[in-house]
Structures are given as C-alpha cells and as structure tokens.
Amino acid sequence: MAAEMAVYEVFGQERKGDPHRHVGSLLAADSDMALLLAQELFCRRKEYVQIWVVPRDAVRQAPSDGATLGPEPRRTYRGGEGYRQTVEKWKRFGGDDRADRT
Amino acid sequence: MSEERLHAFEARIAGGELIEAGDWMPDEYRRQCLRLIVTHANSELMGALPEREWIPRAPGLQRKLSVLSKVQDEIGHAQMIYRVAEDLGRPMGVTRELMLDELIAGKAKFHNVFSYPAPTWADVGVIAWLVDGAALETQGALLKTSYAPYARILRRICAEEAIHLKHGEDIVLTLAAGTRAQRDMLQGALTRWWQPLLHFFGPPDEQSPNSERTFRWRIRLMTNEQLRQAFLRKYVPKVKALGLLIPDPELRQDPATGDWLYGDPDWNEFWRIVKGGGAKTEDRLRLRRMTRDEQSWVREAIAGPTSAA
C-alpha cells in the first residue's frame, strides 16, 4: 500500500516582474518532487520564467459567499473614483493636462 | 433546508456563476461532473497508446519527436485531469488509485476511438488531425462549463491539442501531396476512421443518456449532435479539398440549415465499442495493467517508507 502523497498547488510567473498565477495542482511526496513534476507538467513549452510549489495545506482561504471581499462600496475615498471631482476643480486653473503642454 | 440550498445553487448557476471544488453542490451535480471528467482523463491516458505504438516507427527524426511530444502531452493531460477529478471526488471517496483500478479492470468508460488499431502512418496523421480536431470541438465547448477547476485546466489542454491538430494536419497534407501509394494509404485511414469519428460525439440527442439537468446546470453546453455538426462543418470541406472520398454515399449538406445529413453510422457498433468490445480495447487495457504492475515499485519508492499493509 503506497503512502498518501500530498497535494501541491503550482504557481507560475510568465515574465519577470509579473505576479505568479495559479496554474494547477499535482501530487508529490515532497517539495523537491513537486518542483520536478511541476516542470514536467506545466513547463514543456517555456511558459514560465519561474514557478512556485506550495503545499495545499499551507494555503488558507477566507470565508466567502462569493461576493467581493473588502469594505462596502460606499467607502469611495479608498479608490480613484472618490476623487474624480479633481478634473472639474482643475478647470478653474486651466485644466489638468498641463504636463502634456510642456 | 436542502431544498433551499438546491435553489440557491441553481440561482448561482443561472446567474452565470462558476462552482469551485470547495463549494456546496448537489450530489447529482458532483456525480455528473465526475463522470464527464473521469471519462476525459481515461481517454487522455488511453489515447496516448495508439500513437505510442508509432514512436519507434515514425518516418524520420522530426516526426518521431513530434509523436513523442504529443504522447507526453496526452499523459500530462491525464495527470492534470485526474487531479481535478480527485478534488471533486474526494467527498465520495474517489481517489486516483480507485479511478485507475476501475480503468484497468475494464469497468470505466473512455472514448470509443481509442479502441481501434492504427495500422499505418496515415492513421497517425488522421488521428492527430481529425480525432484531436473532434476532441477540440468537445473540449472547446466545455471551456464554459460551470465547474471552474475543470474549465481552468481545459484552457491549457485545448492550447496543446491545437498544436497536435497542426502536427496531424501536416502529416495529412504531406501524404495528400505525395505519391499514389501515400494517397492510397491516407484514403484507407480516412475510410477506417470516418465512422468512429461520427461515433466520437456520442449517439443522437434523443438516445443520449445526458439528462436535462446536465445542460440546466451548465455542466455541458452543447449536445452531441450540435458538436458533431460543428465538426462536420469545419472538416468535411477540408477533407473534400484534399480530394479524399468520405465513405458515406448519403452525406450531403442541407442548404437551408447548413447541417450535414449523414447515413446511419451503425449505433449498435458504437455501443459495442464503448462497452469494451473494440478490437484493441483488451490489448491496450492489458498494456495499462502491465505498466501499472511493473511500475508499482517506483510509486512505492517515491511515496517513501510505507506500512506493509
């Protein structure tokens, strides 16, 4: 009877500077084997410049009902949409495209 | 309570939401997805075998490398899809061991086309072009399935299948532009594969065991006949352009709908094959059993120290 192998999640980076994105999962006995198998399975066509393997047990997931996480949408001061009035306010001073004119 | 959960689940599906492995889902949804996904995984694993037979015999180093790489891809696809199936099947006690045990015991389904022999090099071309072309229709339609982990892995698989198709197309085009003997070999392969290709998509919708829920839950989005017609529209004109004869005197296009009308492809033969009666079914399952036995020591060694039980 073979010992149970663990699930590893695989993350790949397509180009330097890009974020790593989840690409799939695999079964392996340890992280060395997971890395080797990840390259065999997911890197046959030069898809990634770097990959990570992470034991699934190490990944925690926030409880969610499928809706977006984070504060309720009224807190517009946390995003750019809360400051759209600057365009209007700049008009008193000749518009906000000054940098382009120099 | 359970009725409420079912309604909430169906509302999610109706709203275009995707289902993840950890989400609540009706047992029947899990069963139907699992049946579809395990059949796909088995087909990738068994589908590598007819072409594997041609690795030592491929004409030339480039062709040998292409076939070798395609076989490696198909086995890789099987690995990825079994992984998706394991996560989905866990609450029902479905493990990879169990899926492979059922496959080699002849208890599990895989696609009909992998039960036929590939006697000539032209068969390799026709398989890679038209069987992979047919598989790409089916899998392409599943990219929008409601079960998200399957859809994600299909994106990668479809990209690789599209390359296989090009490899097959290149073999077919080479033979079609070749000597009389090469053209005859190609015609022979097409004649052998045409009926299995029609069978590939499954029986006509009115005889299909797929329930209405399969479509309501968006596990599948297109019916067998819709997929078959999509395939015929794409490939009949190409096959004809190569000057090949399609072995169906009744094949003709309905000018009003664009659908291809075809002669009865003998559905009894289809049922005989999917129930394990194909010419090569037992041979290929025996090979699977043998490799599984012979390589058990590798699996045991990499899994580390084990109990004797």
Question: How far is CA A20 from its chain centroid?
Answer: 6
How many whole angstroms separate alpha carbon B248 and alpha carbon B239? 13
CATH of domain B2-302: 1.20.1260.10
Interface of B to A at Cβ within 8 Å reads 12, 17, 22, 69, 72-73, 76, 79-80, 83, 86-87, 96-97, 152-153, 156, 160, 296, 299-300, 302-307, 309
Tokens of B33: 């997805």
Instruction: Look at residue B168 and tell me whether its pLDDT is greater than 50.
Output: yes
Q: Is the pLDDT of residue A102 over 50?
A: no
- Taking residue B61's Cβ as centre, other Cβ atoms within 10 Å add up to 8
Domain boundaries, chain B: 2-302
Minimum-distance CB partner of B83 among A4, A27, A40: A27
The domains found in chain A, sorted by start residue, are 6-58 (3.10.20.520)
- Per-residue pLDDT reduced to its tens digit, B191-218: 999 999 999 999 988 877 667 899 999 9
- Say if residue B281 is exposed, middle or buried (CB neighbours under 10 Å; 0-12, 13-18, 19+): buried
- With an 8 Å Cβ cutoff, the interface of chain A facing chain B consists of 1-5, 7, 23-27, 29, 33, 40-42, 44-45, 61, 66
pLDDT, one tens digit per residue, over B277-290 is: 888 889 899 999 99
SS (H, E, C) chain A: CCCCCEEEEEEEECCCCCCCEEEEEEEECCHHHHHHHHHHHHCCCCCCCEEEEEEHHHCCCCCCCCCCCCCCCCCHHHCHHHHCHHHHHHHHHCCCCHHHHC
Q: Is B163 exposed, middle or buried (0-12, 13-18, 19+ CB in 10 A)?
A: middle
Kindly list the residues from chain B whose CB atom is less than 8 angstroms away from the CB atom of residue A40: 76
- pLDDT tens per residue, range A16-65: 999 999 999 999 999 999 999 999 999 999 899 999 999 999 999 888 77
Q: Do B12 and A40 touch (CB under 8 A)?
A: no
The answer to whether the Cβ–Cβ distance between B303 and A5 falls below 8 Å is yes
Mutate to test the interface with A, among B44, B74, B83, B87 (most CBs of A within 10 A): B83
Q: What is the pLDDT of residue B205?
A: 82
> How confident is the model at residue B191, as a pLDDT?
98
Q: How confident is the model at residue A2 (pLDDT cuts 50, 70, 90)?
A: very low
Give dist(CA B129, CA B125) in Å, integer: 6
How far, in Å, CA of B120 to CA of A40, rounded? 30
- The verdict on pTM exceeding 0.95 is no
